[in-house]
Chain A
Amino acid sequence: KNQVEQSPQSLIILEGKNCTLQCNYTVSPFSNLRWYKQDTGRGPVSLTIMTFSENTKSNGRYTATLDADTKQSSLHITASQLSDSASYICVVSADGTSYGKLTFGQGTILTVHP
């Protein structure tokens, strides 16, 4: 069964600090992995997308890594800001499948305190 597990469930950090969120998946055959940021009450917004051959992808202060061998991904946030407070969702899709076959993680709730 395809699964995506994220850790930690929640995280509290101080403004300016770095943090790393984890995503482990068992989706096969793997197509791509996306990290989304979701503000409370809003829809998810894509941060990065990585395919099998990509190891690292950056988007400003967000850097995602992918290890297809161990089926792990991480999202590193540098110099956190108060606006980074949100839920971060890892979404994995299997090759050649429709959007109905996306596998979602439960998300990590990040809170940045001043």
Chain B
Amino acid sequence: KAGVTQTPRYLIKTRGQQVTLSCSPISGHRSVSWYQQTPGQGLQFLFEYFSETQRNKGNFPGRFSGRQFSNSRSEMNVSTLELGDSALYLCASSLTNFQGKYGYTFGSGTRLTVV
């Protein structure tokens, strides 16, 4: 069965531009969460969607936004890019939005470089 698919794998953008990243969860999974990973900060939670609704949001500025579609695919958008937004953006999908016996699976990530 197909894993979590993130597109594109690599992206180079200029400061001030905006970017949209895509995440297709494992078939049947309804929860998608997004994370930013940088060498200095490690993995940081951005937001989580379940059944098209944002359930949790991390401590990131409003330039970071997301949405989830009826087929559970999710997108995240970053507007007015800054150099500090350069990072590996990971999404993870799960059957439900609660911990416990249900696991979550990460995608391979999108490497965003802002120049």
Instruction: Please give, as numbers and ranges, the residues of chain A lying within 8 Å of B99 by CB-CB distance.
Output: 31-32, 93-99, 101-102
Total count of chain B residues near the partner, CB < 8 A: 31
Enumerate A1-56 residues with CB–CB distance to B below 8 Å. 31-32, 36, 41-46, 49
B113 within 8 Å of A (CB atoms): no
CB-CB nearest in chain A for B94: A99
Mostly helix, strand, loop or mixed at chain A's interface?
Answer: mixed
Q: Which of B11-19, B67-75, B78-86, B104-112 contacts A (4 or more CB under 8 A)?
A: B104-112
Mostly helix, strand, loop or mixed at chain B's interface?
Answer: strand
Give the interface size class of chain A: 20 to 34
Expressed in whole angstroms, the Cα–Cα distance for A99 and B99 within the complex equals: 7
Expressed in whole angstroms, the Cα–Cα distance for A31 and B90 within the complex equals: 23
Name, among B92, B94, B99, B103, the residue most crowded by chain A CB atoms within 10 Å (CB to CB): B99
13 pairs of residues in contact across A and B, judged by CB atoms under 8 Å:
A32-B100, A43-B6, A43-B108, A44-B43, A45-B106, A93-B99, A95-B100, A97-B98, A98-B50, A99-B56, A100-B33, A100-B56, A101-B56
- Interface residue ranges, B against A (CB under 8 Å): 4, 6, 31, 33, 42-45, 47-48, 50, 55-58, 88, 90, 92, 94, 97-100, 103-109, 111
